[in-house]
Amino acid sequence: MASTFKPILFLLLSIYTFSPVSSHQHHPLDPLTPSEFNLVRTIVEKSFPNPNPYNLTFQYIGLDEPDKPTVLSWLSNPASKPPPRRAFVITRMERKSHEIMVDLSARSIVSNKVYNGHGYPLLTSNEQVVAATKLPQKYKPFIESIKKRRLNFSDVVCSTYSIGWFGEVKSKRVLKLLCFYKEGTVNLYLRPLEGITLVVDLDEMKIVEYFDRFIIPVPKAEGTEYQASKQKPPFGPRLNGAAFVQPNGSGFKIDGHTVRTNEELIIMPYASGKGRGRTQPFADCPSNAVFLDAYYAASDGTPVKTSNTFCIFERYAGDIMWRHTELGIPNEIITEVRPEVSLVVRMVATVGNYDYVLDWEFKPSGSIKFGVGLTGVLEVKGATYTHTDQVKEDIHGTLLSENTIGVYHDHFLTYHLDLDVDGKDNSFVKNNLETIRVTDGSSPRKSYWTVVSETAKTESDARINLVSKPSELVVVNPNKKTKIGNNVGYRLIPGPVTHALLSYDDYPQIRGAFTNNDVWVTPYNKSEKWAGGLFTDRSRGDDTLAVWSLRNRKIENEDIVMWYTIGFHHVPSQEDFPVMPTLSGGFELRPTNFFERNAVLKTRAISRVHLPNCTTRP
Ligand SMILES: *[C@@H]1O[C@H](CO)[C@@H](O)[C@H](O)[C@H]1NC(C)=O
Ligand SMILES: *[C@@H]1O[C@H](CO)[C@@H](O)[C@H](O)[C@H]1NC(C)=O
Ligand SMILES: *[C@@H]1O[C@H](CO)[C@@H](O)[C@H](O)[C@H]1NC(C)=O
Ligand SMILES: *[C@@H]1O[C@H](CO)[C@@H](O)[C@H](O)[C@H]1NC(C)=O
Ligand SMILES: *[C@@H]1O[C@H](CO)[C@@H](O)[C@H](O)[C@H]1NC(C)=O
Ligand SMILES: [Cu+2]
């Protein structure tokens, strides 16, 4: 392994892979610590008059990642002074969004500018859950509507939904409330109070619009429970206990925010991502997993700990890393097999009714697999229908149960893959697989196929629509070659292809135009980080990947970023009710002429583990 190992640097979403750094040193990409969050809050609050009359709220506080060249130069000499720690802050006050840069070392504000563009910052859980969803409780017209439906007010709960943008010239910072009935179930999303919509102005924190358009039955509670304690017999299927046992301990170590494997192949400081969630030990992750906490800022700027946000574990699922049986040698049979054990970093993000299981799987072969699992509860709308025979119109969904339509919808997850393949300057190569006709009679064959390589010069050459033609997409380092002369590279192995189905001029698609292609490549730019822009709430699509890419910048032999979108068109089915079994997607980045040979050739087989209570069938 050591002879084929090359230092490799990947900056992937929030997971980073690096060449070795000294263990005791703070890594420049370490997330903000609780005391740093507090320091940010103090510095920002102090910069405004006291007592603060503005009702300042913190919509976001996070590390302002140092520029990549700064991180790289520190990595080449980790004993040197680390770059200054900075925080990026978005606040709301007096109906304005501020972007503030705080220098934590100097304890000062570097810049503070009012954001004048379209869209609004991340919503805080305080303004959604604590404030907005409580407003209907005292809103007379809403109380009347519940009475009119003969429902028990104490069983009504409301939930927040962003409102989008449909071409309005002026927009306000508002969100929509939809309400549900939790009588007899905890699966509130399956009991919508159809016909009622409330609009809340977040700056005034009051209801500004109210609609009660029609009354239809609330879908019944029966059959919607998913809690184990509420299920009635017969139960099943039974899951026998299962575990991956490592009698000699695990193969990786966590040191601060750095994970080291005993192969020294993967070393990665991790930082907490956006999104909220926590994992449940022994259910979300196997029993050999290690759990890690994370912090985010509450709306008053104080750090909030989320326990068990990530888990890290080695996975042995009985799969084969490589094998061969040789039958061609007379009087001899050779079989060599190596089992696959990989390192998985997992996070579960709960976004309203859905849960997303996000996996980063690092294989000893050098491959990195990105997985996403969708589960949770469907978004449904109430209806009068109790059988499909009654349906004579397009209901934009599937009748899942009486009075319940699971609506057609999409999920898109865009990955920002800041690949540095053995150095920062890389190129994006399309190895197109092309059919060649044999016309000169040189062979009895009529055709064959071959690879025609094409290096993308500018961004427009790298907008990839995967169905168009078969090609292998490789990020190479044009300045580094293997001993025998191939450019070192990593290849993208896409998952199932899913294109956006809305027309390009439709408002949601304008805002989500980063899904117009499956793959994009842009030059590295620190401020182009989120494919949908920074101020996404009510955005107008003027700060998306699709717009940045229009500049058609040079991407050959540059520091480049590849963007890949995993998409799902979800046509709900009855099995998704009342809680849906995980639907999975993903993609892989696989070394391609990166190593001199199979990097796991010399892996030793794992030995069989005997447990006193284990029995195997004869
Ligand atoms: C600040 O909040 C208080 C209490 O919620 C409210 O009475 C006051 O009007 C708010 N001030 C501004 C400037 O929004
Ligand atoms: C309404 O809910 C409360 C609290 O669960 C309960 O005590 C009451 O009996 C319910 N009333 C009706 C009419 O269901
Ligand atoms: C554990 O380590 C010992 C000593 O290196 C070795 O003999 C043994 O085979 C290992 N056990 C397993 C299950 O790998
Ligand atoms: C980086 O991206 C931002 C946003 O697209 C743009 O305004 C800025 O000019 C870019 N910087 C460079 C050096 O290209
Ligand atoms: C293992 O077997 C022993 C002896 O039969 C028994 O006492 C013990 O409870 C078993 N342990 C487990 C975890 O099943
Ligand atoms: Cu879905």
Question: Which residue has tokens 């697999």?
Answer: 369
Residue 150 beta carbon below 6 angstroms from any ligand 2 atom: no
Other Cβ atoms less than 10 A from the Cβ of 149: the count is 17
What token pair was written down for 353? Answer: 């009714």
For every residue of 12-48, which 3-state class applies, written as one string?
ECCEEECCCCCCCCCCCCCCCCHHHHHHHHHHHHHCC
CATH architecture designation of domain 25-115 = Roll (3.10)
Of 245, 611, 613, 614, the one to substitute when testing ligand 5's pocket (max ligand atoms within 8 A of C-beta) is 613
Nearest to 604 by CA among 341, 285, 266: 341
Strands (E), 218-366: 252-255, 258-261, 267-269, 290-297, 303-326, 334-351, 354-362
Nearest to 383 by CA among 225, 578, 214, 188: 214
pLDDT number for residue 463: 96
pLDDT number for residue 614: 59
Nearest to 187 by CA among 578, 572, 581, 580: 578
Using CA atoms, how far apart are residues 299 and 51, in angstroms rounded to an integer? 18
> In which residue ranges of the chain is CATH 2.70.98.20 found?
256-377+578-618, 416-570
Confirm or reject CATH 3.10.450.40 for domain 125-226, answering yes or no: yes
Average per-residue pLDDT for the chain = 89
Atom 12 (ligand 4) nearest CA: 525
pLDDT tens figures, 442-481 = 999 999 999 999 999 999 999 999 877 789 999 999 999 9
Atom 8 (ligand 1) nearest CA: 55
Counting ligands in written order, the one closest to the CA of 243 is 5
- Mean pLDDT for 268-277 is 45
- Mean pLDDT for 113-132 is 93
The answer to whether 379 touches 189, Cβ cutoff 8 Å, is: yes
Q: Which atom, in ligand 1's list, is nearest to the CA of 53?
A: 13
Q: Give CA 136 to chain center in angstroms.
A: 33
Question: Which residue has tokens 């078969």?
Answer: 470
CA angle 180, 182, 185 (to 5 degrees): 135
Atom 13 (ligand 1) nearest CA: 54
Residue 374 has pLDDT above 70, yes or no: yes
Distances (CA, A) of 484 to 136, 390, 429, 480, 488: 70, 69, 19, 11, 11
Q: Which atom, in ligand 5's list, is nearest to the CA of 613?
A: 1
Which residues lie at CB < 5 A from ion ligand 6? 570
Counting ligands in written order, the one closest to the CA of 151 is 2
Q: Please name the helix (run of DSSP H) or strand (run of DSSP E) that holds residue 368, with its range, or none.
A: strand 368-376
Question: Higher pLDDT residue, 18 or 264?
Answer: 264
Q: Please name the helix (run of DSSP H) or strand (run of DSSP E) that holds residue 161, with its range, or none.
A: strand 156-161
pLDDT tens figures, 491-526 = 999 998 888 999 999 999 999 999 999 999 999 999
pLDDT tens figures, 212-257 = 999 999 999 999 999 999 999 988 888 777 777 888 888 888 887 8
Residue 78 has pLDDT above 90, yes or no: no
Using CA atoms, how far apart are residues 201 and 92, in angstroms rounded to an integer? 14
Using CA atoms, how far apart are residues 390 and 385, in angstroms rounded to an integer? 6
What token pair was written down for 61? Answer: 């506080």
Question: Higher pLDDT residue, 5 or 554?
Answer: 554
Atom 7 (ligand 2) nearest CA: 154
What token pair was written down for 170? Answer: 């002026």
- Mean pLDDT for 44-57 is 76
Homologous superfamily of the 416-570 domain (CATH)? Copper amine oxidase, catalytic domain (2.70.98.20)
> In which residue ranges of the chain is CATH 3.10.450.40 found?
25-115, 125-226
pLDDT number for residue 18: 33
Greatest Cα pair distance, the chain, in angstroms, is 90
pLDDT number for residue 279: 72
Q: Give CA 458 to chain center in angstroms.
A: 27
Cα of 528 vs centre of ligand 4, distance in Å, is 7
Ligand 1 neighbours (beta carbon < 6 A): 54-55
Residue 613 has pLDDT above 80, yes or no: no
- For the domain 256-377+578-618, what is the CATH code? 2.70.98.20
Hey, which residues does 477 pair with through a beta bridge? 488
Which pTM value belongs to this model? 0.90
pLDDT tens figures, 195-218 = 999 999 999 999 999 999 999 999
